[in-house]
A and B are shown apart, each in its own frame.
Chain A
Amino acid sequence: MGNLVINEAFLQRVEALQTVLKNNIAGMFGGNHKSRTFGSSCEFTDYRNYQPGDDITKIDWNAYARFETLYLKLYHDERQLHTKIYIDVSQSMAYGNCKKGTMALEIAATLAYLSVTELDRVSVYTIRNSEVTEVISSISGRERYFAEINKLNDVEFGGDCFIAEGLLPTQVGYGDGLSVIISDFLTDNDYESAIDFLADKKRDLLCVQVLTSEEINPKVRGKNVFYDSENEGRSYRKNINKDIIRAYREAVQYVQDRLRNYCNARGAQYVLFRDNAPIDELFFEHFTQLGVMK
């Protein structure tokens, strides 16, 4: 693509946000996300009776002086999670003047920055046809981020997108962070299995559907033959009139509802985003309202 622009001012604003995760049970030590387990952070959580074999350095001697019973001080455990971002780079995301691809890359870059600021690791993958390609591999820290993020400019769009076929064979981890799928989801191909798969892996899942305004509310009228950018063998030939436009809008609504409902049923989050909307809107309105961030 080569047109991804990192807006550092916007990134600084995004730093104020924090990812809200539900399945924070795993991960590596040294992160910034509080775990349900007790660990070695500085944040006091509770007391429990001393058991032989416990680390005696964690005994609260003041409590012993008062109650003559050995109590062990417990602290929150903080984990470093692994954010995995999957970008649909099929032809439909970037055909013609379509800005869906660019917008998907910007969303991915921003989410990645947000993760590294939370001391998490980030990987960015592209999905073309049935192939998942790692573009940015498990980076952490701002320096690595700025060093690696330009790789997104090398992403080429083309082909079809089979999300499930691409994701299922890959290692996605278990309960160790957030997975994000950015796509237009305009396909008959199976993406539900991928959602199920990630949900089974106890990963927090966010599906961002990016559509253009023309796709949501087409202005085209009259006699037209439409060819599919991903498959020229597919075409649609109609005299576009009021009735067809009405049916089209119902189809758009159906696609959105189907994806939203499927995500909700599996504890995943769904967000629709128009390519011509400012990206601030996605992060500061949609994500916060949805509870994905705070």
Chain B
Amino acid sequence: MSFYFPLGLLGLLGIPVLILIYIIKSKYTEQTITSTYLWELSEKFLKKRKPISKLTGILTLILQILAVAVVSFMIAHPVFTVEAAATDYYFILDGSASMNMQQNGVTRFERAQDEINRIIDKSYGGSSYTLVLVNDTAGIAFEGVTDKKQAKANVRALHAGWTEGECSSAMRLAQTYFDDNPSATIYLVSDKSYETENMTFIDVCKGENNYAFTECDYAVAGSQVTGSGSVISYQSDATITVELGYTAELGGEVIAAGQVQVKTEAGVPSEFSVSAEIPRFASLRFYIASSDAMQEDNVVIRYDAAKTQARKVLLVSDLPDSVYIHNAIARAGMAEVEVMPTQSYDPAKVSGYGLCVFNGYTPATLPQNTAIWLIDAVDGSGEGSGVTFRDYEEPRDTEGPNSYYEVEYVEGNTAQEKKFLKNITGSRVVVRKYAQYGIPRKFTTVMRYDGNALISAGINENNDREVVFAFRIGDSNFGLLEDFVILVRNLMDYSFPSVIDETVYTCGDTMVVNVVPGCESIVVTAPSGKSTTLDTFGNDMCEVQLNETGSYSILVKLTGNRDMSLCSFACVPETESRAEGGGKLALLGNKGSEKKDGYYDDLLAFFIVIAVLLLADWGVYCYEQYQLR
């Protein structure tokens, strides 16, 4: 046993003082009474006292001495060493959306926090606590905390997310901890059903009933809006009330439009359809009115899709292969294309076009505030493109396998690459000749050969969207392929961007916010009210991770004090609404049994003892003062 504050033991000096006071105070009081006869006679009736009863005279003194001693010890704060009692605790805590389900006002996540804090409370001092929180990814919330209070506060500060979460994603971390210390105690706390090995599983699921939408869409016919989809009750048969509401303007008051009762069997989606006369709406709100364990998956908001702007394209070309480009842009890109010979091109007269395509022609100055396509149109004289010409690369042979270059697509890892390669079949593309360009770092490459970007896109020096082809369509087979049309359509979507491509997402998804021409800033506000200003400078798009469920608002500030407001909605992932999953999670290796020396420094026992002593002292005082009379 040791002490945090040994000087506190000086309080024991109070004991001799107490005894001195007792001796001084305990003098006999002398008084003359009428007769001592009765007192002397009482000696005959005095029963023989038990030896222990002789202590009762000094019981108060004993209690007070004990109280002083205990208080001194409390001030000194003793620490008791307990051999082989402490260990390292690791908690893998499921923080996925389903942990937000609640029963009697307590969520599964709060139950999990209580369980963890209870384990921390029971553990001996000297133990350490580490917690891995599993949301969309597994991350260390805190590591190696040795202070119980701090650990408990850290646990209490955690919140469940609204994304999908899979505890298996934390197994790499858990395995590392287990390898480092096989004697560690590892807990997996989740609402999903897991079989575990070398760790203890704590199930916080109480079988709460939950309703949710599995599908939700609408159709408009004149002023008649029909909402349809399906709802599900995961635990039991139920009759679910689905309400349809709308707002006339974004952020406006929700107006009830209709409702329908849907009978469902447990775990089986049931379709519903509800129609209403809605002359104009900015959003449609589908809502399950029946109460359940999680309200957040009972609502889906569909926002009116952004209107497609008119697409007007100027194609500057003298080359015969421009026919491929013209047709692809006009048909697949759904654009109105005006073809202009290079001699007629005058940058001063180019206006009103959303896209200027230069095919085999390098303008002296690029037009501004319009998207640009440069198809073999960079030779070093064009200003503002950001692309530098190096040299042409031509094949060694005129025929045979060395007479062309086989081009490859990029892997499509990023969101922008995925957008460019959307629906691309991957047909073989060869080119006979291409130019080596130096392209800006922020450009996204779509097709390449030998490390050279053959098709790339990005924001040019004029802050306009730009697509660069390093080869002529006529020098390849690309113009004849279906993928050319598909790619042109994707590039047209890129060149005529809408702010957001979709209005309904699932929590955990990444929302792509396009930086539209004339955009000065974009602010995204999450359902919790947290606003984020996106980095639009030099970027053609920004990505927003949707980690909250509910409506996100997007405010786009355009030049000329024009603002554009949009909204999107993030649903609770269906897997989380269902709250199913789990499986077998095992930590490889043999469980150890070595433990560290722990310590016990809780003063609660002292508080109880001092309370008992003071209570006993008070009781003795009362007994002597009142009860005997």
Chains A and B form a bound pair: yes
Query: Which residues of A does B touch, CB under 8 Å?
Result: 91-93, 95-96, 98, 100, 184, 186-188, 212, 215, 219, 221-230, 232, 234-239, 241-248, 250-252, 254-255
A247 and B35 in contact, given A222-B29, A239-B57 (Cβ under 8 angstroms): no
What are 25 contact pairs spanning A and B, CB under 8 A?
Answer: A91-B34, A95-B34, A184-B35, A187-B35, A188-B37, A221-B628, A223-B28, A224-B28, A224-B31, A227-B33, A229-B32, A236-B40, A237-B28, A239-B57, A241-B628, A243-B47, A243-B53, A246-B45, A247-B42, A247-B47, A250-B42, A250-B45, A251-B41, A251-B45, A254-B45
- Chain A nearest CB from B201 CB (Å) reads 61
**Binary flags per residue of B50-64, CB closer than 8 Å to A gives 1, else 0:** 000100110000000
Contact of B29 among A91, A188, A223, A228 (CB under 8 A): A223
A246 to chain B: which residues have CB within 8 Å? 45
Q: Does the CB pair A236–B34 fall under 8 Å?
A: no
Q: Does the CB pair B28–A96 fall under 8 Å?
A: no
Q: Does the CB pair A229–B33 fall under 8 Å?
A: yes
- Chain B nearest CB from A45 CB (Å) reads 50
Contact of A247 among B45, B624, B625, B629 (CB under 8 A): B45
A212 to chain B: which residues have CB within 8 Å? 34
B44 to chain A: which residues have CB within 8 Å? 247, 251
Contact of B32 among A226, A238, A248, A250 (CB under 8 A): A226
Q: Does the CB pair B36–A224 fall under 8 Å?
A: no
Q: How many angstroms from the CA of A241 to the CA of B44 in the assembled complex?
A: 16
Q: How many angstroms from the CA of A187 to the CA of B56 in the assembled complex?
A: 32
A244 to chain B: which residues have CB within 8 Å? 42, 46
Q: Which residue of A lies closest to B47 (CB)?
A: A243
- Chain A nearest CB from B540 CB (Å) reads 96
Interface residues of B, count at CB 8 A: 30
A227 to chain B: which residues have CB within 8 Å? 30-33, 36
Q: Which residue of A lies closest to B57 (CB)?
A: A239
Q: How many angstroms from the CA of A16 to the CA of B45 in the assembled complex?
A: 44
A255 and B28 in contact, given A219-B629, A247-B45, A247-B47 (Cβ under 8 angstroms): no
Asked whether B122 is an interface residue with its Cβ less than 8 Å from the other chain, the reply is no
- Chain A nearest CB from B304 CB (Å) reads 90
Asked whether B414 is an interface residue with its Cβ less than 8 Å from the other chain, the reply is no
7 nearest A-B pairs in the assembled complex, by CB-CB distance = A247-B45, A250-B45, A251-B41, A248-B42, A247-B42, A247-B46, A251-B42
A223 and B26 in contact, given A188-B37, A235-B36, A243-B46 (Cβ under 8 angstroms): yes
Q: How many angstroms from the CA of A246 to the CA of B53 in the assembled complex?
A: 15
- Chain A nearest CB from B24 CB (Å) reads 13
Known pairs A221-B625, A225-B29. 16 more at Cβ < 8 A? A98-B34, A186-B34, A188-B37, A219-B629, A224-B29, A226-B36, A234-B40, A239-B57, A241-B57, A243-B46, A247-B43, A248-B38, A248-B42, A251-B38, A254-B41, A255-B38
Q: How many angstroms from the CA of A229 to the CA of B290 in the assembled complex?
A: 92
Q: Which residue of B lies closest to A93 (CB)?
A: B34
Contact of A95 among B27, B33, B624 (CB under 8 A): B33
Q: How many angstroms from the CA of A285 to the CA of B543 in the assembled complex?
A: 106
Q: How many angstroms from the CA of A186 to the CA of B36 in the assembled complex?
A: 9
Interface centre among B29, B45, B47 (most CB of A within 10 A): B45
- Chain A nearest CB from B50 CB (Å) reads 10
Q: Does the CB pair A215–B38 fall under 8 Å?
A: yes
Q: Does the CB pair B45–A100 fall under 8 Å?
A: no
A254 to chain B: which residues have CB within 8 Å? 41, 45
Asked whether B49 is an interface residue with its Cβ less than 8 Å from the other chain, the reply is yes
Q: Does the CB pair B30–A225 fall under 8 Å?
A: yes
- Chain A nearest CB from B623 CB (Å) reads 8
A98 to chain B: which residues have CB within 8 Å? 34
Q: How many angstroms from the CA of A277 to the CA of B56 in the assembled complex?
A: 36
- Chain B nearest CB from A16 CB (Å) reads 34
A243 and B35 in contact, given A224-B29, A227-B30, A254-B41 (Cβ under 8 angstroms): no
A225 and B33 in contact, given A241-B57, A247-B47, A255-B38 (Cβ under 8 angstroms): no
B624 to chain A: which residues have CB within 8 Å? 221, 241
Q: How many angstroms from the CA of A229 to the CA of B38 in the assembled complex?
A: 13
- Chain B nearest CB from A273 CB (Å) reads 15
A236 and B39 in contact, given A223-B26, A224-B28 (Cβ under 8 angstroms): yes
Q: Does the CB pair A187–B47 fall under 8 Å?
A: no
Q: Which residue of B lies closest to A216 (CB)?
A: B38
**Binary flags per residue of B150-189, CB closer than 8 Å to A gives 1, else 0:** 0000000000000000000000000000000000000000
**Binary flags per residue of B15-27, CB closer than 8 Å to A gives 1, else 0:** 0000000000011
- Chain A nearest CB from B28 CB (Å) reads 4
Interface centre among B27, B34, B40 (most CB of A within 10 A): B34
Contact of B37 among A187, A237, A238 (CB under 8 A): A187
Contact of B31 among A215, A225, A245 (CB under 8 A): A225
A228 to chain B: which residues have CB within 8 Å? 32-33, 35-37
Q: How many angstroms from the CA of A251 to the CA of B37 in the assembled complex?
A: 9
B37 to chain A: which residues have CB within 8 Å? 186-188, 228
- Chain A nearest CB from B52 CB (Å) reads 13
Q: How many angstroms from the CA of A246 to the CA of B26 in the assembled complex?
A: 22
